[in-house]
């Protein structure tokens, strides 16, 4: 009979078993978070835990900004003020025209029994930083669930669409930029009225239009705006300008690169629009459209999501 | 757990939990600074470095759960997919624990050579998971994080050891 020496230390499971346990748990987290998006509440809790350290880490740069503001030259401020007034005056006729055009459009839409879209209201949010992750293109804004922000809301700058709110924390939110690989936007080419989809190119900071047939009339300098088909982005927001069009005879589609208009890194603030109500499927513009076939938004999205 | 460091005249005090926690808090503060662009790509992983340091020098203070928990917090801080850092940290931590006796017999620069593969492992895990999630890989400069983090290993113990040691009594003349 083998005698076992008395155990001096209680050791628990073997190190290798522990390692396997934690690795399995990590892999489970990755799968659940990346594919099923079910860990948002947990992520919010972790972010809440980190919030005080984040505030502390942001304070030096904020203090520096405040310091810089205090030392702004009065003549500079006056010049800027004058420039802004001038800009306002220059835009005033267009604005007045816009109001009458909007009224005309609404009347016409009523006659044609097309559902009218109200441009949603929004809140102005300060940009507090860039997400510290070299794999994604995201910015952090200083407004969260405390101001009633919702995941999925479109985010604009002065020049155009910037992105979409993807994670809402209590006091901050993450905005995925339109150059992010996972963001898809349904677009309208203003010159020809063609509808298409834009995908982000990731790190390069450009967009590409992968589903435009070879023979389509599109050229560098064309302006792309949101088409409003998905019911997420309101119609007519400026998104991008076509940079280059390459027609490779081997491929069925043209290779098109676009430059986003919403220059997010120039500004300190962005506008977050409220989410629109879901459109009544019987009255979406998709059915009224008589343009080239567009792949179904949702199917394409599903295919592209990692 | 007291043990002799490289100079046998210096005896190390057992570390307090408070000191470990403070070091991690400072690492998070460093991590959460507003990094951007190239600086973000080059930011050394101080959190992993401290985790390895404490696991090598004070294996009783931290457990495997702490590597996992710190990894999850790092994921939340970096707004990446939850579990990526947790996986890398857990693996590196387990290996550091396995080889701690061996690492401790070397001088600092040679220790750094042992730390390099551990840090690299964590980065390879991150890149691998992102590859499987079909996310585009960052600029190659990002891989310089590992040598930078390893270089810090030669400086960091210097400070932490100093905080943690007491001069032993000089041997009395007979």
In order along its 306 residues, chain A shows pLDDT tens digits of 456 666 666 666 788 888 999 999 999 999 999 888 888 889 889 988 998 998 898 888 888 888 877 777 788 889 989 999 999 999 899 888 988 998 888 888 888 877 666 677 888 898 888 888 878 888 889 888 888 888 888 998 888 888 999 888 888 898 988 888 878 899 999 888 889 999 888 766 788 888 888 888 888 889 999 988 877 888 888 899 999 888 888 888 888 989 888 777 777 888 998 876 544 444 444 444 444 444 444 444 444 443
Q: Hey, how many other C-beta atoms are within 10 angstroms of the C-beta on B24?
A: 19
Query: Would you state the pLDDT for residue B3?
Result: 45
Q: What's the CA gap between A184 and A294, in Å, rounded?
A: 13
Query: Would you state the pLDDT for residue B126?
Result: 92
Task: State the nearest Cα–Cα gap between A62 and chain B, in angstroms.
Answer: 10
The verdict on residue B172 lying in a domain is no
The answer to whether B73 contacts A42, with C-beta atoms less than 8 Å apart, is no
Compare CB distances from A19 to B29, B43, B64 and report the shortest one's residue: B64
Q: What's the CA gap between A101 and A109, in Å, rounded?
A: 12
Contact A165, A152 (CB under 8 A): yes
Q: What's the CA gap between B56 and B65, in Å, rounded?
A: 16
Q: What is the ipTM of this complex?
A: 0.84
Compare CB distances from A19 to B90, B130, B133 and report the shortest one's residue: B90
Domains of chain A in sequence order: 184-263+280-304 (2.40.10.350)
The helix or strand, by DSSP H or E, that contains position B10, with its residue range, turns out to be strand B10-12
The verdict on residue B93 lying in a domain is yes
Residues with Cβ within 8 Å of residue B78, at least 6 apart in sequence: A131, A132, A133, B31, B85
Residue of B67, B74, B75 to mutate when probing chain A, most A C-beta within 10 A: B75
The verdict on residue B5 lying in a domain is no
Query: Would you state the pLDDT for residue B38?
Result: 85
Closest CA to B127 of A55, A133, A154, A151: A133
Contact A257, A244 (CB under 8 A): yes
The verdict on residue B168 lying in a domain is no
User: A37: which chain B residues are within 8 Å (Cβ-Cβ)?
Assistant: none
B139 Ramachandran zone, left/alpha/beta (phi>0; psi -120 to 50): beta
For residue B65, the enclosing domain spans 15-30+41-163
- The structure tokens listed for A194 are 């063609």
Compare CB distances from A50 to B43, B73, B129 and report the shortest one's residue: B73
* DSSP conformation class of B141: G
Three-state SS at B19: helix
Q: How many CA atoms lie within 13 A of A258 on its CB side?
A: 30
Q: What's the CA gap between B82 and B88, in Å, rounded?
A: 12
Domain count, chain B: 1
The verdict on residue B154 lying in a domain is yes
């Amino acid at each position: 009979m083998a005698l076992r020496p008395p155990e001096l230390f209680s050791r628990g499971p073997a190190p290798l078993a522990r390692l396997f346990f934690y690795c399995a748990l990590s892999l489970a987290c990755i799968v659940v978070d990346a594919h099923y998006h079910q860990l948002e509440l947990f992520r919010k809790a972790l972010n809440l835990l980190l919030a005080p350290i984040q505030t502390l880490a942001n304070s030096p740069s904020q203090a520096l900004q405040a310091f810089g503001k205090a030392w702004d030259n009065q003549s500079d401020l006056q010049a800027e003020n004058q420039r802004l007034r001038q800009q306002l005056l220059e835009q005033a006729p267009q604005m007045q025209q816009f109001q009458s055009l909007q009224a005309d459009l609404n009347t016409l839409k009523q006659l044609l029994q097309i559902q009218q879209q109200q441009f949603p209201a929004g809140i102005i949010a300060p940009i507090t930083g860039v997400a510290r992750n070299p794999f994604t293109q995201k910015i952090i804004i200083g407004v969260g669930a405390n101001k009633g922000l919702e995941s999925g809301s479109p985010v604009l700058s002065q020049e155009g669409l910037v992105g979409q709110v993807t994670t809402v924390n209590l006091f901050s939110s993450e905005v995925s930029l339109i150059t992010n690989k996972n963001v898809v936007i349904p677009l309208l080419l203003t010159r020809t009225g063609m509808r298409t989809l834009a995908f982000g190119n990731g790190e390069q900071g450009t967009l590409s239009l992968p589903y435009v047939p070879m023979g389509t009339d599109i050229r560098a300098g064309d302006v792309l705006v949101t088409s409003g088909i998905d019911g997420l982005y309101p119609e007519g927001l400026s998104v991008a300008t076509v940079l280059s069009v390459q027609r490779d005879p081997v491929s069925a589609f043209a290779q098109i690169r676009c430059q986003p208009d919403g220059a997010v890194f120039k500004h300190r603030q962005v506008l977050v629009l409220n989410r629109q109500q879901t459109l009544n499927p019987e009255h979406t513009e998709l059915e009224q459209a008589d343009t080239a076939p567009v792949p179904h938004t949702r199917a394409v999205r599903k295919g592209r999501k990692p | 757990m007291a043990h002799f460091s490289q100079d046998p005249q210096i005896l190390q005090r057992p570390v307090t939990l408070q000191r470990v926690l403070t070091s991690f808090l400072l690492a998070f503060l460093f991590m959460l600074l507003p990094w951007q662009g190239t600086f973000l790509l080059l930011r050394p992983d101080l959190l992993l470095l401290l985790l390895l340091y404490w696991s090598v020098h004070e294996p009783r203070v931290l457990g495997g759960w702490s590597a996992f928990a710190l990894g999850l917090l790092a994921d939340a801080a970096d707004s990446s997919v939850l579990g990526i850092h947790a996986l890398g940290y857990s693996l590196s931590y387990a290996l550091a624990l396995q080889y701690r006796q061996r690492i401790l017999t070397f001088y600092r620069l040679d220790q750094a050579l042992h730390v390099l593969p551990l840090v690299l492992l964590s980065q390879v895990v991150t890149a691998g998971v992102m590859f499987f999630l079909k996310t585009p890989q960052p600029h190659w400069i990002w891989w310089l994080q590992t040598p930078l983090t390893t270089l810090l290993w030669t400086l960091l113990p210097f400070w932490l050891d100093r905080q943690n040691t007491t001069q032993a009594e000089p041997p009395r003349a007979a």
